Amino acid sequence: MDIVRDSGAGSIVAAEAAGPVGAGGPRLDEVATGAAGELPLADLQTGAPARVVSVSATDGTSGHPGASGGLSRRLAELGFLPGETLRIVARGFLGREPIAVRIGTGTFALRLFEAACIRVCPEHQPLP
């Protein structure tokens, strides 16, 4: 089962590397935060505050109805939009998947392939 997941994640990364348009989904407008410290949401440290840089659909989910097309849109509806601040509240079983993300005043559990659509930039002030 790891093979399936890894190949899925691989294609997501590849799509990201190909650039925002190559990802095949709508890219919501980007906020200038400087691409230097940018990383995928799943790589963010638990508890560290960060700002959403971009939310893009990847084709790692193609062929599964309801997953590919609606994914970035649904994330956007839940508030995962460029400029919003978030942090990872907890990670699931054995510290991997899913991740619980606090965004604004809401908390959502996301699977890794969902989190892979979101790129964030850590904010460097520590949490109070």
Partner 1 sequence: MEAALSAPGPLVALVGNPNCGKTALFNILTGSRQKVANYAGVTVERKEGSLTTPSGRKVRILDLPGAYSLDPLTPDEQVTVDVLLGRRAGEVPPDFVICVTDATNLRQNLRLVLSLKRLGLPMVIALNMTDIARRKGIVIDADKLAAEFGVPVVETVGVKTSGAAALVGMLNQLKAPAQPHRAAQWRTPTAADIAHDQNEVRRILGVVGGGRLDGVTLDDRIDAVVLHPVAGPLILGIILFLVFQAVFAWAQAPMDAIKAGVGLVGEWVNHALPASLLKDLLVNGVLAGVGSVLVFLPQILILFFFILSLEESGYLPRAAFLLDRMMGSVGLSGRAFIPLLSSFACAIPGIMATRTIQNPRDRLRTIMIAPLMTCSARLPVYALIIGAFIPRRQVWGGLQLQGLVLFALYLAGIVSAMAVAYLLGRRGARFHSLMLELPAYHWPNLRNLAIGLWQRVEIFLSRVGTIILSLMVILWALSSFPAPPAGATGPAIQYSIAGHLGAWLSVIFAPIGFNWQISIALVPGLAAREVAVGALGTVYALSAGGSDVSGALTPLIAQSWSLPTALSLLAWYVFAPQCLSTLATVKRETNSWRYPIIMAGYLFGLAYAGSWITYHMASALTAS
The binding site for partner 1 (CB under 8 A) comprises 1, 4-5, 8, 26-29, 60-61, 63-64, 66-67, 70-71, 73-79, 81-85, 89-98, 100, 102, 104-111, 113-114, 127-128
CB of 107 to partner 1, least distance (A): 4
Q: Please, which residue, 3 or 17, has the CB nearer to partner 1?
A: 3
| Residue 102 near residue 77, CB atoms below 8 Å | no
Residue with tokens 């509240």: 89
Secondary-structure breakdown of the chain: helix, strand, coil percentages, each rounded to the nearest 5: 30, 25, 45
| Residue 126 near residue 114, CB atoms below 8 Å | no
CB of 106 to partner 1, least distance (A): 5
Residues 6+ apart with CB under 8 A from 73: 26, 57
Q: Please, which residue, 79 or 122, has the CB nearer to partner 1?
A: 79
| Residue 89 near residue 100, CB atoms below 8 Å | yes
CB of 18 to partner 1, least distance (A): 19
Q: Please, which residue, 75 or 121, has the CB nearer to partner 1?
A: 75
